[in-house]
Amino acid sequence: MKLKYLEYFIVIAEQKSLHKAAEVLFNSQPNLTRAMHSLEEEVGAELLIRSNQGVELTPIGESLYYYAKSILTQLDAVSGLKMLSQETVQSKLNVAVARIIFADDLMLRFYETVKSNHTTINLFETTVEEVINSVATIQSEIGIVAINTFQFPIFRRSLELKEMEYEVLDRGPIYIQVSEESPLLKQEKIYARDLLDYSYIHLPYDYYANINFGLDMGGVRFSDFRKTITMNNYHAIIRMLKHADAFIFGNKWQMEELAKGRIVSREIEDVTGEMLLIWIKRKKEVISGNGRKFLQLFREYYGDKSDTRDT
């Protein structure tokens, strides 16, 4: 399989037009057509659906697109090493994260571990749905999510459909996290109904957050929370939490970090289920050296000793 044909295929898929791709590649449309026919013959399946409106990817074409992007990205990295001396080798890490606030010194320790003159760390804090999309489309090498057991079956099925794999690093109770000044802390026990008078702070709703609307917490459902605050930045959420009569649903992996900011974690008496800490990646793709170093540190900080990988 010619790498040049894969490069052509990626551009055609992104431009959604043979004509536009020919302009981008400074090539002729007949040449691209012949290259795509050759690629389809080699794969043994149709990759593109052609119409007067342009081209679309078939399911097999979509799978090939992500594999081709991964292959060419890694080849570019190898080629880049030829242009760098040992003193100026660059290190890069792309991680997408949902529903967990990292310890402050985690990334510092990663930086100290890679021992590179030029280090780029892209930490994409977002929703669970966007973490999956970020890893699937090769924007991030690794995804880290904290989800509940109610969401997990659908989460697992989504990964299967996108040819991704996961590992459960740890599990723990579902907590609420509030300011140390919150009146809720005066109660010996906290029940879900006690939260109805307070503002529920959360990230923008995505598919997995909407699943929670079917979760019954001692007769209380997420749709019963009449006061909500939607924010798209974890640190902004924490600042709001300190000064408002509000709460977030959280997990044990961020308890220590939040405690530094005078945020207290308490279990809810009538909430069933658990939180799962999971990392994900694309199947059949080898994690980079930097990715492995990050995961090793992450396990030291948050993982238990059991191995619950699903491949």
Topology of domain 174-272, CATH: D-Maltodextrin-Binding Protein; domain 2 (3.40.190)
pLDDT band at 117 (very low <50, low <70, confident <90, very high): confident
Q: How far apart are CA 5 and CA 32, in angstroms?
A: 8
pLDDT of residue 119: 86
Domain 89-171+276-302 and domain 174-272 have a common topology? yes
Q: Would the pLDDT of 309 be above 50?
A: no
Query: In the chain, where are the structural domains located?
Result: 3-79, 89-171+276-302, 174-272
Region 86-97: what's the mean pLDDT? 76
Q: What are φ and ψ of residue 240, in 5° steps?
A: -65, -40
Quickly list H helices, 162-233: 207-211
Report which residue type is found at 94.
N
Task: Answer yes or no: are the C-beta atoms of 16 and 54 closer than 8 Å.
Answer: yes
Q: What is the CATH number of domain 3-79?
A: 1.10.10.10
Strand partners, 282: 164
Quickly list H helices, the chain: 3-15, 18-25, 29-43, 59-81, 106-114, 128-136, 152-161, 207-211, 234-243, 255-259, 289-302
Q: Is the pTM of this model over 0.85?
A: no
Angle (nearest 5°) at CA 21 between 1 and 19: 120
pLDDT band at 305 (very low <50, low <70, confident <90, very high): very low
Q: What is the CATH number of domain 89-171+276-302?
A: 3.40.190.10
pLDDT of residue 307: 40
Instruction: Enumerate residues 6+ apart whose C-beta is below 8 A from 55.
Output: 12, 13, 16, 17, 18, 48, 49
pLDDT band at 156 (very low <50, low <70, confident <90, very high): very high
Region 61-79: what's the mean pLDDT? 77
Angle (nearest 5°) at CA 125 between 124 and 129: 95
